[in-house]
Structure 1
Amino acid sequence: MTDKVLGVLGGMGPLASAHFMLRLTLLTPAERDQDHIPTVLWSDPRVPDRTAASLGTGSDPLPWLLRGINGLKAAGCGAIAIPCNTAHGWFDPMIRAVEMPILHIVDAAAAELRRIGVRRGRIGLMGTAATLAMRLYQDRLEAEGWQVVEPEPDQMGRLVTPAIASVKANRVAEAYAPLAEVVNSLAARGATAVVLGCTEIPLGIQAGPADALQVPVVDTIDALARASIAWALG
């Protein structure tokens, strides 16, 4: 049992944050209701598109992100998890604006890589075009000894980006084949594991057979859930 209250800044997208809540619950070592983590979910899908904002073609999401953070702080939360990778492009201004920890999803993914035994070497990275362009993963993971391999530009436009859009449109099953193709392409280029650096991508991957994937994948929803549990119980 813990008295710590976790805040979840969600709605980016709504299905990903709902799935995060499910995984947080299922991964928590609990025997009864009272063993679970007190959690407040702020799910606001009105937050402007993070990819468009980072590429200079959309509105700034920061005021909306701060509105959610302040709401979670007012609700008594002691830390915040954000089940949206691209939103971490605004991590520094968010952390400066509040006096509470925000769990970083890339650090959680690094911990998950180590947990599955991938401590160094070449790894694949999938994510939104903005996440890759902002180097949210590459800089942090390369500093810890991994070599990051990204999808080819053609694969981003033809496979990854449309698959992410399919999940956001609740057409989850459509996303599996293109995402699996990219995972296996990265494996063919020497990746020993692939980080699913967009919280829509694990949902698409789970819509098809796991045994068709040639390497293990790091689900960043699960990784963030484990980091949240560690914070709450630590």
Structure 2
Amino acid sequence: MSKKIGILGGMGPMATVDLFTEIVRNTPAKTDQEHLRIILDNHPQIPPRVPAILQGTESPLPMMVESAQQLEAAGVDFIIMPCNTAHFWLDQLQKTIKVPIYSMIHNTATYIQRDYPHFSGKTILLASRATIQTNLYQNDFHSLGLHLCVPKDQDQEIIDLTIKEVKAGHIETNVYIKQLSTILNRYEMEEGILACIGGCTEIPLIFPYLTSDVVKINPTQLLALMAVEQAKGIKLTY
């Protein structure tokens, strides 16, 4: 029998839908009944993560705990969380429940270590300023012997604005797509960058519209693939 997946969502809603879609798309199934049981708590009222870290505003942790405990009470076997910045509270959150919460950040790092070790030192992180400053990705990469590049401050400003636009519902019409493409092209030409990581769950939503040739690594998709493997007890090829 397959395991039941819990999604602690709402941070933000479109990123949550994206994760759900990726799970369904990547589940080997020929009928409705062969798909996985997923219990999703889309909780967009969880306070913003970035200002909580950078400015000390209201912590999202209490509402995250509420969602996680509700998912556990609903009988899920494990929880995944489509918000990179929220992983800042993952250890504290895990202490409040017994079912495991799988980290999309660690999952991404282990994927690169396994399949693309030559990307070490040649991958740039596109994430929120809070994710960058708290070293969430950098620490996981370093623990696996990998090096990760981060954007210069003026480029980070464009990334933050790009994320904000996606959260406002602007994806293909995002006014910062051209600038972000230019930034990636510059890092490729001047610093030999081979890949970028969509280290904010809003970033992969605009991947199809970026004109840069660098390899685009999607942690949301990787998390979905891992969740399918864990739920079905199988190994996928990707």
TM-score category (smaller protein): over 0.9
1:114 offset after TM fit, Å?
4.4
Alignment of 1:71-110 (within 5 A): 71-110=70-109
Superposition TM-score, scaled by structure 1 size = 0.92
1:226 counterpart SS class: helix
Identity over the aligned pairs, expressed in percent?
30
2:207 is equivalent to residue 205 of structure 1: yes
1:146 counterpart SS class: coil
2:179 is equivalent to residue 181 of structure 1: no
CA distance in 1, matches of 2:179, 2:95: 38
2:39 counterpart SS class: strand
Letter in 2 for 1:198: C
Letter in 2 for 1:83: P
Q: Name 2:196's counterpart in structure 1.
A: 194
1:115 offset after TM fit, Å?
5.9
**Contact 1:51/1:86 (<8 A) preserved:** yes
1:119 offset after TM fit, Å?
4.9
Alignment of 1:18-33 (within 5 A): 18-33=17-32
**Contact 2:185/2:213 (<8 A) preserved:** yes
Residues 114 and 31 (structure 1 numbering): CA distance in 2 closer, same or farther, change over 3 Å? farther
Aligned length: 229
Q: Name 2:128's counterpart in structure 1.
A: 128
Could you tell me which runs of 5 or more consecutive residues in structure 2 were left unpaired when the two chains were aligned: 234-238
Q: CA RMSD in A?
A: 1.6
Q: Name 2:50's counterpart in structure 1.
A: 51
CA distance in 1, matches of 2:20, 2:114: 21
Task: State the Cα deviation string for residues 80-116 of structure 1 (Å, max 9, x = none).
Answer: 0000000000011011111111010112212432465
